[in-house]
Amino acid sequence: MTILPAIELETGVHPTHTILWMHGLGADGNDFVPIVDELGLPSSLHIRFLFPHAPMRSVSINRGLVMRAWHDYDVVDPHSGVREEMASLRDSQRAIEALIDRELHRGIEPGNIVLAGFSQGGAMALHTGLRYPEELAGIMALSCYLPASQMLAAEAHRANAGISIFMAHGSADNVVPMALAAAASRQLHESGYAMEWHEYPMAHSVCADEIADIGDWLKRILT
């Protein structure tokens, strides 16, 4: 498989940890690079941040416009949810797994790898991380929902049954309804996952309090 292009940023020589951070629909890997310096992580942690660029594809919810997207989808509604095009979802799952596998070949232990993402990228972090066959350090899912939720029980891998999950959402999010995120959190909690749920008074974005909480969570799971 062709490895997705990605921006790499290392906080020290010979990194021992990797944070693989997926952007949202229509953005690219540059979107969250500035956050690295705001997380307040200790200098003793040598982390490789990877910010991959999603493939260009037609997106049904945007009338077929071509943009960077992890998968094609349609309908975002608090009641009917999201209708994913499963082939593209699986394609991006495999692409993210290929990035993880490359980190393993570069000497990073799976237990030192965090999958993170915002919006559609957060959905991919959940989808991929919960199915990955080796135990990862954690999943950070920001302003997103749980894709293919009806398949999780059958497809989740026991290796990540105890993974730490950080979910956060804005109370004024008008892109991904709070009800979808809350339903995802509830399903994961009821499935026995170690969940942290955070709400912030914001729209479909990130805020300073959220960044501080992310930094605290990363310090707990990586040190």
3-state secondary structure labels for all residues of 24-68: CCCCCHHHHHHHHHHCCCCCCCCEEEEEECCCEEEEHHHCCEEEE
Q: How far is the C-alpha of 23 from the C-alpha of 146, rounded, in Å? A: 16
Burial class (CB within 10 angstroms; exposed 0-12, middle 13-18, buried 19+) of 139: buried
Q: Which residue of the set 88, 119, 164, 185 is catalytic?
A: 119
Q: How far is the C-alpha of 163 from the C-alpha of 139, rounded, in Å? A: 7
Q: How far is the C-alpha of 124 from the C-alpha of 113, rounded, in Å? A: 15
- To the query of whether residue 31 is one of the catalytic residues in this protein, the response is no
Q: Which residue of the set 17, 88, 164, 173 is catalytic?
A: 173
Helix (H, G, I), strand (E, B), or coil: what is residue 199?
A: strand
- To the query of whether residue 173 is one of the catalytic residues in this protein, the response is yes
Pairing of strands 17-22, 47-52: parallel
Could you tell me where the DSSP H helices lie in the chain? 86-105, 120-129, 152-155, 178-190, 208-222
Cβ contact 72:59 at 8 Å: yes
The type of residue at 115 is L
List residues with catalytic annotation: 119, 173, 204
